[in-house]
Amino acid sequence: MMKLYTSAASPFARKVRVCLLELGLADRVEQVEVGSTPLKQSPVLTAQNPLGKIPCLLLADGTALYDSRVITRYLDDLAGGSLYPVAPELWDILTLEATADGIMDAAVMMVYETRVRPEELVFATWVESQWVRVTRALDAIEQNNIGQLSGPLNIAQIAVGSALEYLDFRHADRDWRAGRPALADWQAGFALREAMQATRPGA
């Protein structure tokens, strides 16, 4: 049995949990909920991933795999899935996944800034510049990537779907849908997938 160190709120872990369901591998992985913030990481986690970040997949032979991009690729290979198209299309899909991961990174940083950092040290300008990064990435996806999001299921769709729902979960007041009708439309459909519903924080 494999073990996934995960957290219900983590958008990176969600990519992996969605892959497990979409690839039919969920019953081969025990999910272990661990807390991790830049200030405090569980020793159970750091024993496997020196970076102390979630997600981390522990294989039956004791090998630890991280980060989310490595784990999802491993799972797709294990299941003989088709979440990764062949080159040259692959490069666009991986870049779109990286864009979604970048949105998550910036959005998670914003949460840490207000939740983890003492109030007197919060740097509002820094938080806003993270949001500018998110909006640039969303605009780029709206303009360039709707086609890739609409084809057969791939890893970029899972990453973008997880990133957008994380924005709803933590930054709902910022209204990412405004001015991005195609992306909003796509997300509304993608959110109906069983794997997305089953992995929503609080589900």
- Residue 165 CB, nearest approach to ligand GSH (Å): 13
CA distance 8 to 4: 12
Nearer to ligand GSH, 116 or 198 (CB): 116
- Residue 35 CB, nearest approach to ligand GSH (Å): 9
Nearer to ligand GSH, 109 or 182 (CB): 109
Q: Which residue is nearest to ligand GSH (CB)?
A: 67
Nearer to ligand GSH, 52 or 81 (CB): 52
Nearer to ligand GSH, 54 or 137 (CB): 54
Distances (CA, A) of 15 to 102, 112, 115, 126, 174: 13, 20, 23, 27, 23
CB of 88 closer than 8 Å to CB of 143: no
CA distance 77 to 84: 9
CB atoms within 10 A of CB 79: 16
> What's the sign of the alpha-carbon dihedral 165, 166, 171, 176?
negative
What are the DSSP E strand ranges found in 52-164? Answer: 56-58, 64-65
- Residue 40 CB, nearest approach to ligand GSH (Å): 8
- Residue 11 CB, nearest approach to ligand GSH (Å): 6
Task: Give the binding site for ligand GSH (CB under 6 A).
Answer: 10, 12, 36-38, 41, 52-55, 67-69, 101, 108
Nearer to ligand GSH, 108 or 137 (CB): 108
